[in-house]
Structure 1
Amino acid sequence: MLEPDGFDDERIALGPQLASFEMLAIKQQCSLKDAQQYFKEHLSIGDYYTEGQQVLGHWFGQGAEDLGLGGVTHLDEFVRLCENLHPHTGEKLTMRQNTMRTDIGHDGLEHASSNRRVFYDFTFSPPKSVSVAAMVGDNPRIVEAHEQAVNEALRQLQSFAATRVRKKGECTDRLTGNIVAAVFQHETSRALDPHLHSHCILFNATFDQVEKKWKALQNHEMLAAQKFVENAYYHELTRALVKFGYQIENRPRGDFEIKGISPELIKRFSKRREEIDQKTRELLAREPEKAEGNIAAIRENIAHRERGRKIRDIGLETLQALWHGQMTSQENESLRKLTVNSCPASAAEENLAEKAVTWAEEHLFERRSVVHEHELWRHALEYARGREVTIADIQAVTSRRNYHRFDEHPGKVTTREHLLREWEIVQTAKEGLGDCHPLVGHPRPFNPQLDEEQRQALDALVSNINRVSVFRGGAGTGKSFVLRELVEQVRDGGRNAVVLAPQRQQVVDMERAGFPSPTTVASFLAKRELAEGAAVIVDEAGQIGGKQMLELIRLVRERNARLILSGDTRQHGAVEASDALLAIERHAGVKPAELHKIRRQDPARGQTLDEREHIKQYRQAVKLAASGKLDESFSQLDKMGAGVSCSLSNQAEELATEYLRLAEKNVSAVVISQTWAEVHRVNEQVRDKLKSNGLIGANDVTVQTLEKIDLTRAQKRDERFYPADAVVVFNQKVREAEAGAKGKLGCIVKAGVLVEVDGRFVTVTDKVLDKITVCRPHETQIAENDRLHLKANRKLASGDRVTNGELVTVKSVRPDGTIKLTDGRVLDSGYREFLPGYAVTSYGSQGKTVDYVLFSDSTVKPATNAQQWYVSISRGRRGIRIFTPDKEQLRENITRKGDRPSVMDLLAERYKNDWFYRLIERRWGKRAAVIMTRSRRGTRRAEKMRQKQNIAHGHARSVVRQSRSIGV
């Protein structure tokens, strides 16, 4: 099973999520009083050694110029803008002036809150090694390069400035491209460590050229482009550093450091961060209820409230002596020689901008069919960081690319390949509406175990007259039971039935459920063995991407076969680009057969009246989530006592305690976590709890396990993404390397990747990069009765198979390194792709069913959305507990959409117009136009067929019912 790595928050240094590695931090200021004091107390007072000097901030931005602001930032100008007044005339600037509002909260009470954002603080900070080289190494050129890089990043940020349009029924944002900003540069932290950084204060005002007035700044696009702006800053800074003779070490998480400055030295000069983190830990331990709030805000409060007094009588020379005194003579000498011993800057690389953009395209479009253009710029800059190419060069390349751009969605782009692929999928499904005879002409009587809803769904499927049909049902509605009956009906009717699923684990589950000879979609497409007129039945079809779906649909069309797609697009979709089933549901006009009744959370499972009532309420919460009522779903679970308020510091302990309680009752449970860092923490805590209570063996055996690094094909061709200790595992045979073989990266070559395996080099070409996985090794303790989560498909030496995603239990660990499982299988000593199996990600939990779900909320907003919530809460049969530090934040996070926009979503109705076909022909030639024209004829034909479909479908159903009633 190809499972994305989950949301890897990288915040693992502190245990609880306290640290952050973002070099562009963004805060908004909503308090007018605090904003007015900000200039006096924080910005104008310079670094804490300046002996009374002030930092002379400067104005920046087209908006500032329009207001007549330039040069040095003065207090009176700053304060007037905070008050929403013109800095010179004192007149009101934008419409909104009130600073407080009253809202009704979820508790039904009135709550006062700030009504107007005063400004946004965008703070640019280079990696610590840069501050060390600049300040301790006394290199003013770096300080100047930082300032220039900040200015370039702000120029890019300004292009995303927008305002809201709320006139004549419009409800959109309009780009304005102008900001009013004041920039203040600092060079140390309050702990007197070197800390070069710039505060860029963006006032909540922008000039709308269309309406000819100042309006509030809409920051949505600016925040969306944050990573691009951050990389613009990085790129300009590293270009300068390389010119100065420094060597740059780019890191896979997106940042960089200067080579030659040790991690120990970096940590030594990060005392302020360590101090804030320590005080945060102490506060959470002392007042755990505070952990229910936002941790970043708590850290900010601590940083502000408990900061030391400013020291103003220490000069720069004294500070440098202080810094050098904290270093060994060897460290001082190494710092001095950083540029002396560096290699000269390399010559400009030919076509670097083209190569960088091509890499970004391959990386992004592998898993998404629509991206924002600034995402391409961001990844292209990451690829070319420190090399001689400008941001303008990158942007010029993308402007020349033959992307399809969406007029209604400025900045979003797709490729010819993705547009034509999604188009053909949808149009083929449209062409097939009403195009066939009933799937089963003379069905036998239905299984009496089917209830009325299931019989109706099966009736709709066997009488279906479409080339492509859809069977939709929510989590736990019993789709598999109906599908198995459908397969039997198809075969009894004399038609070949091919049963498929996207992942190997799903195939194994279908085999256990009695499906005849299921196989994976990939394996089926590789062989292309399909009888004329057969029925292809696909379970979990929502996890098929556009590329495989198009291959499948084309093969079905060639063989005059039928395609039945079963799935739930409200759950996690495909890893590869395009949620194809969702596109068919939304745009092809295919009417699905549906199941709504939830059977997994069955009150009859309850052993007491109270438990039966509890399961009934739980089922209602899942039903609400399935219907898109996320807030009501959360309220239902909270009302029934499922929510457990806990701090981040003791969350894992609480989860472990609950897991132990359920294990002692001999019921099944799984912890569903939002990030991989959290999965590891919870696994460790749960295992310790089980071990201390004797539920797993006392004697640990240490084995080296391998954890997958989730990489795209483009990333596999980039050495940045291979850690020094990376292990390359072959999932399938490649040349001389057998499945399961392990090696080390040799180098990246033009043809692909060179891997050293047992002293021999194996070339893995670009075409077969999906046959290798890059892993990082870990030492893992296992013992009798340990739970393991297997992470790779493999045929074992015994002939047995293991599949990615399985949860298994250890019976014993043998001296030769093999691991015997309680089900009798034996993991070879070479099979080490597993981790403790007590906690999994939401994606990893999909398809699994347990008695109880323990949901672990890490408060990481990007890791939480509607799909993640629905999948997570629906895994249990009997109950769920939700462990969260902040209920209201979780309630808000789960309403975020998790599905990706498709090309067809953004095209909307435009593709029906003649000009669109002419545009495609001009842009991509006659071959594309032929596909489009054929599809258009199919669309027109489908419109006519759809009008007849209800009559034809009704007739087909009557024939089916008549056949069944006479026992044919």
Structure 2
Amino acid sequence: MLAAKAQYNLGNARKYFEEHLRVGDYYTEGQQVLGQWYGQGAEKLGLSGATRGEEFLRLCENLHPQTGERLTLRNKTTRVEVGQDGEEHQSANRRVFYDFTFSPPKSVSIAALVGDDPRIVEAHDRAVATALNQLQPLAATRVRKNGQCTDRTTGNIVAAVFRHDTSRALDPHLHSHCIVFNATFDAVEKQWKALQNHDMLVAQKFIENVYYHELARDLREFGYAIENKPRGDFEIQGISPALIEKFSKRHQEIDQKTKELLAKEPEKAKENIAAIRENIAHRERPPKVRDLALSRLQGSWKNQLTAPERDSLRKLRVHEPPIVHTPAAVAEKAVTWAEEHLFERRSLVNEHDIWRHALEHARGENISLADIQAITRERGYIRDQNKPARVTIREHLQREWAIVCAAKDGRFKFAPFQSEYQSNNRQLDDEQRRAVERIMASRGFVTLFRGGAGTGKSFTLGEVQRELQKTGRFVQVVAPQRQQVLDLESAGFDHVETVSGLLARRQLPRDAVLLVDEAGQIGGKQMHALLALAEDNHARVILSGDTRQHGAVEASDALRAIEKYSGLEPVELTNIRRQNPALARSLKEREQIKEYRQAVTEARDGKLTESFARLERMGAITQCSVAEQHEKLTERYLELAKEHESTVIVSQSWNEIHKVNEAVREALKRETLVGDKETVVAAFQPVDMTDAQKRDTRSYNENTVLVFNRDARGFKAGDSARLHSLTDTHLVVENENRVVPIAFKYLNKVTLCQQREMALAAGDRLQLKANGRSMENKKLANGELVTVKSLAPDGRIALADGRTLDKRFRQFVRGYAVTSYASQGRSVNHVLFCDSAAKGATNNQQWYVTISRGKKGIQIFTMDKEQLRDNITRSGNRPLALDVAPGLKDSRNMAVRRIQGKRGHFLHAR
């Protein structure tokens, strides 16, 4: 793997070198293993060969390694950090260096160091060097002169590489630290400046896969067989999980420390064990042991082996040589797979992402990165003129342009829905009434209706449907998700179904009105199909949504393309009604809700730092240590639960959600808000995969379960079957002693899941992860939050709302914490946000959606306020294919010929 970490503290940086980086973990007959300088920047500073301490430490202090003069302009600023004690401390803000650490899978370290194969160590060094050669060209610096606010690629780094061979527990652990200093030479300004490493971090997975591929290719040439894993890495076949665990003593040490703590403080057994382990790992790191003889270490490792384990290591290299395929054919197949995987959900990608996934798909094959790059050069991608490494395909560009042209060309095509219409509905306020009147007076094929979070958009749309029906028109209402359909039906809408349901039956009365709710979550393919269906039936379309919230899963945010390029002016609601001061129970709460509403307004309007600052002044942002985060969040959740306030927790990753869910549930059990009589069930959590991943055998493991959504191969809808084995064209599943091959072509009829054991009791909250029907034949919706009332001995689960889950329905997870995407459309009294400080997980859309869910309040728990403040200013908008197509707005006819390639109506061009 490739891990990246910034070092801010100068004192720690010095200590890092002295104790951790100066020499390797062993020496051979007294010869130390020194670090090596790397990079064009290092060469420019006169650095080459072995790393000397004086030079390294001068660079840590931002000094020229030869002259001792200051290197870059920026030197010292400070920031506030929360330490492990939970207290705030002033810390250095200048990044001293970045530590990029390359580590092979544990089985590779065992084969190299316990199996005594020095070729693997050499292969590791070569793979690291090859990966660094791809990392260096991504180096950049900020440009702030003459009012500019951009980045400039410099393509040079100053780095020192140190190889290590053991973990802190003295287990075999081959890895290399690449210390990249915070300095790069700007050839335009002719000076050394701070390094901007954004593109390096964006490409981190690409660099990791360059390293993995080069290493795996050498391993196969040495005679080792490799097995790719669903998590993205690989292991050497023949090295058992038990042996890997034996040489993972750091994990065992943490296990032991956890047991000792729980024995000493048994009350902690009711807390989140994962958080306790994480805190121990950070708090009790043993010092690095250095300068041990290799022979002594290897003797110790080999003494830990059993006779069968020794025998298995000896047999590792007796595999048949790999079958050699033509490099061009292998690269072609790998790139095609990568394109199918990426362009299913993204209309514009970085070219290095194609390289990354192609390398992963062809890992260990006899091809190089250059072979893959040769294929992509001939692909005919449409490239961003400003950033040529960003590419799209003609299919996406043509579809987005067809959608935009359908909306643009349809302006003034129809008579108004109703001339001189005036609303007399006294339940509408002035803004809502004007919105209804504007929609009724609209004349376009497409009418846009934008409503921000909590503005009463659904209530207004209900009035629109009723008024349109009065004119004799049939109004078909659709939404992307079944949960949204249920919400619309509950709100009184008629003729409601999912987008996919309507497109499957392809029936729409002539001259109907197609009212599309949550249109911002519809991708290019479905939007194109909806508009074509409407046009075929002389229907009109009303698109209701908010592109400032989360967009589509599939490629192309179609509503944003229409807003950005069609010239249509949306009818809009801006007054927020969700955060209503009238809900307050005191004057203080009333003022808090007013402030809260203003913070949501600022987030909607793009004033992210102002929104953050307002919530901070309100005391709504709690900064705490890793160990305290879940504890404080759980305490607040309990307080609200006891007050019977509806609450949702929003977190950023499924790993974090599982931790939060378990912590909250344990707290609820202690307070007897969840029953103590538990039943353990096998729950199925769907695994999100693209179609390309579903056809890739690496995507599966032994816990994979298939749940059938439709009848297929003798299975009924709702049946489940465990994965038995895999071939290149089939999944083989097992159910009740039946073994059945399922061809990949049937995978659109199944949901792929991972099985998790889950203890359930009365009062538990669940999030359903599939559509279905209850035993009473009532609808069940994917994403719906439900509460367990009781569990029957035969597996049925009675819900508090009167529905019952059949014993076959097991697609659910705990429902106290959800993703930001899953929270969209929900309205509760209070929202709690558990921030993981992960840069890639937070952006302006996530912030706006998350903080706007509550009616009364929000509380945010973060480990780093400053990092969170920075993260929320990142745009969550995915780039469109149209964004990189020059001249579309200025030269329409030329653009049409270029991207369509033939005449014919846009919506029906193929």
Q: TM-score if structure 2 supplies the norm length?
A: 0.90
> Are the aligned partners of 1:93 and 1:214 in contact in 2 as well (CA < 8 Å)?
no
For residue 324 of structure 2, what is the amino acid of its counterpart? A
Determine whether 1:910 maps to 2:910.
Answer: no
Report the 3-state secondary structure (helix = DSSP H, G, I; strand = E; otherwise coil) of the residue aligned with 2:548.
coil
> Are the aligned partners of 1:734 and 1:764 in contact in 2 as well (CA < 8 Å)?
no
Q: Which residue of 1 aligns with 2:226?
A: 248
> Are the aligned partners of 2:697 and 2:727 in contact in 1 as well (CA < 8 Å)?
no
Q: Which residue of 2 aligns with 1:153?
A: 131
Match of 1:719 among 688, 697, 716: 697
Q: Whole-Å Cα distance in 2 between the matches of residues 501 and 309 of structure 1?
A: 57
Q: Which residue of 2 aligns with 1:460?
A: 438
Q: Which residue of 1 aligns with 2:498?
A: 520
Determine whether 1:123 maps to 2:97.
Answer: no
For residue 302 of structure 2, what is the amino acid of its counterpart? H
Q: Which residue of 2 aligns with 1:950?
A: none
Cα distance change on mapping 1:31 and 1:283 into 2, 3 Å: farther
Match of 1:137 among 115, 122, 137: 115
Q: What are the equivalent positions in structure 2 for 1:653-664 lying under 5 Å apart?
A: 653-664=631-642
Determine whether 1:308 maps to 2:283.
Answer: no
Determine whether 1:772 maps to 2:750.
Answer: yes
Q: What are the equivalent positions in structure 2 for 1:42-61 lying under 5 Å apart?
A: 42-49=20-27, 52-61=30-39
Deviations 1:269-289 (A, max 9, x none): 334566689889999999x9x
Q: Whole-Å Cα distance in 1 between the matches of residues 278 and 39 of structure 2?
A: 29
Q: Which residue of 2 aligns with 1:761?
A: 740
Q: Which residue of 1 aligns with 2:296?
A: 318
Q: Whole-Å Cα distance in 1 between the matches of residues 254 and 225 of structure 2?
A: 31
Cα distance change on mapping 1:319 and 1:747 into 2, 3 Å: closer
Q: Whole-Å Cα distance in 2 between the matches of residues 161 and 131 of structure 1?
A: 30
Determine whether 1:347 maps to 2:324.
Answer: yes
Deviations 1:118-140 (A, max 9, x none): 54332212122211211111110
Offset of 1:594 from its aligned partner? 1.0
Q: Whole-Å Cα distance in 2 between the matches of residues 111 and 699 of structure 1?
A: 46
Deviations 1:586-629 (A, max 9, x none): 22211111111111121222233333333223222222222222
Offset of 1:677 from its aligned partner? 2.1
Q: Which residue of 1 aligns with 2:85?
A: none
Q: Which residue of 1 aligns with 2:777?
A: 799
Offset of 1:519 from its aligned partner? 0.9
Cα distance change on mapping 1:87 and 1:598 into 2, 3 Å: closer
Mean CA deviation greater in 802-811 or 347-356: 347-356
Q: Whole-Å Cα distance in 2 between the matches of residues 689 and 37 of structure 1?
A: 41
> Are the aligned partners of 1:161 and 1:178 in contact in 2 as well (CA < 8 Å)?
yes
> Are the aligned partners of 2:730 and 2:741 in contact in 1 as well (CA < 8 Å)?
no
For residue 864 of structure 2, what is the amino acid of its counterpart? D
For residue 901 of structure 2, what is the amino acid of its counterpart? K
Report the 3-state secondary structure (helix = DSSP H, G, I; strand = E; otherwise coil) of the residue aligned with 2:478.
strand
Q: Which residue of 2 aligns with 1:483?
A: 461
For residue 486 of structure 2, what is the amino acid of its counterpart? V
Determine whether 1:507 maps to 2:485.
Answer: yes
Match of 2:355 among 361, 374, 377: 377
Q: Whole-Å Cα distance in 2 between the matches of residues 319 and 479 of structure 1?
A: 68
Q: What are the equivalent positions in structure 2 for 1:363-762 lying under 5 Å apart?
A: 363-441=341-419, 443=421, 445-734=423-712, 736-745=714-723, 755=733, 759=738, 761=740
Offset of 1:36 from its aligned partner? 6.1
> Are the aligned partners of 1:643 and 1:884 in contact in 2 as well (CA < 8 Å)?
yes
Mean CA deviation greater in 26-35 or 622-631: 26-35
Mean CA deviation greater in 160-169 or 414-423: 160-169
Offset of 1:881 from its aligned partner? 2.7
- Structure 1 spans left out of the alignment, 5+ residues: 1-22, 936-968
Report the 3-state secondary structure (helix = DSSP H, G, I; strand = E; otherwise coil) of the residue aligned with 2:160.
strand
Deviations 1:376-415 (A, max 9, x none): 1111111111222211111111111121100112311111
> Are the aligned partners of 1:583 and 1:905 in contact in 2 as well (CA < 8 Å)?
no
Q: Which residue of 2 aligns with 1:20?
A: none
Deviations 1:156-211 (A, max 9, x none): 11232334445565543333433343322222234322222222233444455556
Q: Which residue of 2 aligns with 1:816?
A: 794
Q: Which residue of 2 aligns with 1:955?
A: none
Mean CA deviation greater in 435-444 or 249-258: 435-444
For residue 658 of structure 1, what is the amino acid of its counterpart? R
Q: Whole-Å Cα distance in 1 between the matches of residues 309 and 454 of structure 2?
A: 62
Q: Whole-Å Cα distance in 1 between the matches of residues 766 and 326 of structure 2?
A: 48
For residue 487 of structure 1, what is the amino acid of its counterpart? Q
Match of 2:75 among 94, 99, 102: 99
> Are the aligned partners of 2:709 and 2:749 in contact in 1 as well (CA < 8 Å)?
yes
Q: Whole-Å Cα distance in 2 between the matches of residues 514 and 401 of structure 1?
A: 51
Match of 1:327 among 280, 296, 305: 305
Q: Which residue of 2 aligns with 1:951?
A: none
Report the 3-state secondary structure (helix = DSSP H, G, I; strand = E; otherwise coil) of the residue aligned with 2:311.
helix
Report the 3-state secondary structure (helix = DSSP H, G, I; strand = E; otherwise coil) of the residue aligned with 1:53.
coil
Q: Percent identity?
A: 55
Report the 3-state secondary structure (helix = DSSP H, G, I; strand = E; otherwise coil) of the residue aligned with 2:449.
strand
Determine whether 1:899 maps to 2:865.
Answer: no
For residue 822 of structure 2, what is the amino acid of its counterpart? G
Report the 3-state secondary structure (helix = DSSP H, G, I; strand = E; otherwise coil) of the residue aligned with 1:537.
strand
> Are the aligned partners of 2:81 and 2:90 in contact in 1 as well (CA < 8 Å)?
no
Deviations 1:801-855 (A, max 9, x none): 2111122222322222222223332211111111222222221121222222222
Report the 3-state secondary structure (helix = DSSP H, G, I; strand = E; otherwise coil) of the residue aligned with 2:752.
strand
Deviations 1:861-897 (A, max 9, x none): 3222222222222222222333333333333333332
Report the 3-state secondary structure (helix = DSSP H, G, I; strand = E; otherwise coil) of the residue aligned with 1:385.
coil
Q: Whole-Å Cα distance in 1 between the matches of residues 669 and 868 of structure 2?
A: 32
Q: Which residue of 2 aligns with 1:236?
A: 214
For residue 619 of structure 1, what is the amino acid of its counterpart? R
Deviations 1:624-681 (A, max 9, x none): 2222222222332333333344443343344333333333333322222222222222
Report the 3-state secondary structure (helix = DSSP H, G, I; strand = E; otherwise coil) of the residue aligned with 1:910.
coil
- Structure 2 spans left out of the alignment, 5+ residues: 83-87
For residue 424 of structure 1, what is the amino acid of its counterpart? A
Offset of 1:756 from its aligned partner? 5.2
Report the 3-state secondary structure (helix = DSSP H, G, I; strand = E; otherwise coil) of the residue aligned with 2:568.
coil
Cα distance change on mapping 1:586 and 1:282 into 2, 3 Å: farther
> Are the aligned partners of 1:406 and 1:412 in contact in 2 as well (CA < 8 Å)?
yes
Deviations 1:708-742 (A, max 9, x none): 11111111111211121211111233454332122
Report the 3-state secondary structure (helix = DSSP H, G, I; strand = E; otherwise coil) of the residue aligned with 1:859.
coil
Deviations 1:505-526 (A, max 9, x none): 1111111111011111111112
Cα distance change on mapping 1:910 and 1:30 into 2, 3 Å: farther
Cα distance change on mapping 1:296 and 1:30 into 2, 3 Å: farther
For residue 926 of structure 1, what is the amino acid of its counterpart? G
User: Greater relative contact order (Cα 8 A, min sep 6): structure 1 or 2?
Assistant: 1
Q: Whole-Å Cα distance in 2 between the matches of residues 42 and 813 of structure 1?
A: 55
Q: Whole-Å Cα distance in 1 between the matches of residues 8 and 790 of structure 2?
A: 59
Q: Which residue of 2 aligns with 1:827?
A: 805
Q: TM-score if structure 1 supplies the norm length?
A: 0.85
Cα distance change on mapping 1:115 and 1:680 into 2, 3 Å: closer
Report the 3-state secondary structure (helix = DSSP H, G, I; strand = E; otherwise coil) of the residue aligned with 2:165.
strand
Offset of 1:153 from its aligned partner? 0.7
The total of aligned residue pairs comes to: 894
